[in-house]
Amino acid sequence: MSIIEGPGPVADTLAGASAHGIGASVPPADALAKTRGTYPYAADLWAEGLLWAAVLRSPHPSARIVRIDTADARAMPGVRAVITHEDVPGDAMHGRGVADRPVFAQDVVRHHGEPIAAVAADHPDTARLAAAAILVEYEVLDPVTDPEKAFAAEPLHPDGNLIRHIPLSFGDPEAVGEVVVEGLYRVGRQDPAPIGAEAGLAVPRPDGGVELYIASTDPHADRDIAAACFGLEADRVKVVVTGVPGATGDREDSGVQLPLGLLALKTGCPVKFVATREESFLGHAHRHPTLLRYRHHADAEGRLVKVEAQILLDAGAYADASSSALAAAVAFAAGPYVVPHVFVEGWAVRTNNPPSGHVRGEGAMQVCAAYEGQMDKLAAKLGLEPAEVRMRNVLATGDLLPTGQTVTCPAPVGELLKAVRDADLPPLPDGEDESQWLLPGGTSGAGEPGAVRRGVGYALGMVHVLGAEGTDEVSTATVRIHDGRATVICAAVETGQGFTTLARQVVQEVLGVEDVRVLPADTDQPPAGPAARGRHTWVSAGAVERAAKMVRTQLLQPLAAKFGMSVELLSIADGKITSYDGVLSTTVAETLDGKELWATAQCRPHPTDRLDENGQGDAFVGLAFCAIRAVVDVDIELGSVRAVELAVAQDVGRVLNPRQLAARIEAGVTQGLGMALMEDLRAPGGVVKRPNFTGYPLPTALDAPDVRIVKLVEERDVVAPFGAKAVSAVPVVTAPAAVAAAVRAATGRPVNRLPIRPQAAIVKPQV
């Protein structure tokens, strides 16, 4: 086990490492194009004679549709097609996992913004005006917006209001501890807020099929959904992945892709759509708002005896990823702690609120905020340091999760906590001129030193790596070598997570050639699955490695045979092939002699089980852990919070690209900070309020804290390719809980709600 430590792990590794291959800070190939603004995103697409699409969305969260009249819209000059539920030739319902979402609402609308009709016209304004001219007569219904009332409410959907219920029971229900703490926690609705516009282009094909140019994060799943909806064979629909401008969840809303393809098929013309920010907020999935009720039992020394929890996820109107989010929430309900007795009831319920789905760390993030709140309460009740009470309970390899699964991967939780606990604290604001101090509210802002309190808080988080509960997490990749240059063909989508850089590094490492290109992804390639839960670092990079190794063998086998030695005795570096004894020395190009070598390989991790009726089962392939210490300054009169520093120690398995890894951790922490302090898409009565970046602020550079990576524990996970773990999600999960803990420490207030509103951070003067 090696450990990167100290103030500048990134800089240290950079200095000593080679410029390519595994472990080097290889820069992304598209960095220059993105910086110069020449990188083609979906919104930049163009086709000769294209039409523009607009979608009519429901203004009501719950209503019966009495009548839809499209005559006025059709009659408008420039309008080429108007489609509703009547124009869907294939399956009327779609969805990830469960097909429970209509392409267009037919009899009822179940959430604000649900698509009802779509228009294609020769100008975007004409299309929007025509969409607005569609007459829809609604009978407005009372929306169900309180998830607690969803159980007893009239079914909102033929599938019922309960999407999934997991009752987890582990250990002895009668067990009691000497100390008991209870808490109620709420987590708001975070939006993945992809900065690039959501856009797409559909082009009809002469064979009656259609090509969709979209910023998909899972092209094959999107193709299958689209083909089913269009009533076409899967091979007549092709999804081409255009430049994805960042994705931390399911980026594109199928509510847009499907109408786009239908319009292209109907008109025979290319059709383009660019979503406004408002549509983006209304259409795509959000993080599940969650209500959590907890009771922790511990002995007098602070060792956990029993954790009881009730977790209620608001799924919105459709199932989407709620089932897997609930599984993560229930399985990780107690956190990375050893607890002998755990009893959790988890529900995901249907409401008329905006749709919830996959957003990094779903399920795990919400429970982290709650169980870490409980650990702080326990520490306060026992009179222990918050870090100490956590240290007495940390999980390690060989311990059991509450699902009965043994943790077989590295789980250096105690080591992570120790690293952040022992790290130096950031200095207090310094300097004679107080007006230049960076206080909550900014420099020369409203903050006043006398009203500012500093707080330090800890949180430990965990996520599962790869899809859980029996998902077939397979990926396929092809590697080609020719003229001393290698090409990777893999449908794994580069969403900004760095997969293409990693794929290049893998091939550089195995084949010893520096020039490696990764082709753009589309559905003519074999499937690689969704870009989520660190999959591509594991299965897709794993597939690339296997394919590259097969190419290597093909390349070296004839040489080895000729010289009577085994392939293992030959090595390739910088395009040169040498034998162990130096007798043989040739180049890759010479050996290839104009030939091309191809190999395709798959990577499929060991299978997992679905959680059974008691919430038990080996549901996860891998786990990743993180410890964060947050230092915040709180203006206790105004309730404004500034995160000063977040110190991160993370279990990464192996550092594959130091600079990229640091960037992923910083990005994750910042997204978590948004959840902690400002991001909450408000939807009173089911109607989304202020769906724009003024109403839904994101952290800016001034809000973002110093993210200090104090330790990266490199304990390789033997079952993972390269031993590496996914790094992006776990800081998102952990950071909000750490910030909440720090605000708790600064103010003495309970802080049981995320995001933390100013009124929750105000210390009322003692009268």
What is the CB neighbour count within 10 angstroms for residue 443? Answer: 12
Backbone phi, psi, residue 572, to 5°: -120, 135
Q: Where are the beta strands (DSSP E) in 384-526?
A: 452-465, 475-482, 485-490, 516-518
Q: How far is the CB of 276 from other proteins (least distance, A)?
A: 7
Inter-CA distances, 51 with 3, 6, 81, Å? 56, 56, 10
Which residue type sits at 142? Answer: D
* Paired strand residues for 182: 295
CA distance 544 to 494: 14
Parallel, antiparallel, or unpaired for β 341-350 and 622-635?
Answer: unpaired
Sheet holding 570-573, edge to edge: 570-573, 576-579, 585-587
- Measured in whole angstroms, the distance separating CA 390 from the mean position of its chain's CA atoms is 27
Rg (CA), the chain: 27
Tokens of 109: 């609308």
Q: How far is the CB of 117 from other proteins (least distance, A)?
A: 18
Q: How far is the CB of 13 from other proteins (least distance, A)?
A: 31
Q: How far is the CB of 440 from other proteins (least distance, A)?
A: 6
Q: How far is the CB of 193 from other proteins (least distance, A)?
A: 15
Residue 387 or 761 with smaller CB distance to other proteins: 761
Residue 512 or 699 with smaller CB distance to other proteins: 699
Residue 440 or 498 with smaller CB distance to other proteins: 440
What is the CB neighbour count within 10 angstroms for residue 262? Answer: 27
Residue 441 or 520 with smaller CB distance to other proteins: 441
Inter-CA distances, 156 with 68, 149, 274, 496, Å? 21, 12, 30, 37
Q: How far is the CB of 199 from other proteins (least distance, A)?
A: 15
CA distance 575 to 552: 12
Residues that bind other proteins (CB under 8 A): 77-78, 121-126, 128, 276, 278, 438, 440-442, 444-446, 448, 451, 637-642, 677-678, 694, 697, 699-703, 757-759, 762
Residue 661 or 677 with smaller CB distance to other proteins: 677
Quote the DSSP letter at residue 410: -
Residue 423 or 762 with smaller CB distance to other proteins: 762
Residue 123 or 205 with smaller CB distance to other proteins: 123
Parallel, antiparallel, or unpaired for β 475-482 and 597-603?
Answer: antiparallel
Q: How far is the CB of 159 from other proteins (least distance, A)?
A: 36
Residue 572 or 636 with smaller CB distance to other proteins: 636
Contact 538, 720 (CB under 8 A): yes
Q: How far is the CB of 220 from other proteins (least distance, A)?
A: 35
115 HSE (CA, 13 A, CB side): 29
Which residue type sits at 32? Answer: L
Q: How far is the CB of 121 from other proteins (least distance, A)?
A: 7
What is the CB neighbour count within 10 angstroms for residue 593? Answer: 6
Parallel, antiparallel, or unpaired for β 63-69 and 290-298?
Answer: unpaired
CA distance 489 to 478: 5
Q: How far is the CB of 401 from other proteins (least distance, A)?
A: 37
Backbone phi, psi, residue 88, to 5°: -95, 110
Q: How far is the CB of 437 from other proteins (least distance, A)?
A: 12
| DSSP per-residue codes, 589-636 | HHHHTT--EEEEEEE-PPP-----TTS-S---SEEEEEEEEEEEEEET
Residue 295 or 453 with smaller CB distance to other proteins: 453
Contact 647, 710 (CB under 8 A): yes
Q: How far is the CB of 186 from other proteins (least distance, A)?
A: 16
- Measured in whole angstroms, the distance separating CA 340 from the mean position of its chain's CA atoms is 31
- Measured in whole angstroms, the distance separating CA 211 from the mean position of its chain's CA atoms is 27
Parallel, antiparallel, or unpaired for β 304-316 and 341-350?
Answer: parallel
What is the CB neighbour count within 10 angstroms for residue 538? Answer: 27
Residue 151 or 693 with smaller CB distance to other proteins: 693
Residue 341 or 708 with smaller CB distance to other proteins: 708
Tokens of 129: 């005006």
Residue 54 or 724 with smaller CB distance to other proteins: 54
Helix ranges restricted to H, 145-299? 219-230, 254-267, 277-283
Q: How far is the CB of 439 from other proteins (least distance, A)?
A: 8
Quick one: CA dihedral 126, 52, 199, 31, positive or negative? negative
Q: How far is the CB of 183 from other proteins (least distance, A)?
A: 21
Residue 448 or 609 with smaller CB distance to other proteins: 448
Residue 15 or 701 with smaller CB distance to other proteins: 701
449-474 in b/e form (b: 16+ CB < 10 A) is: eebbbbbbbbbbbbbbbbbbbebebb
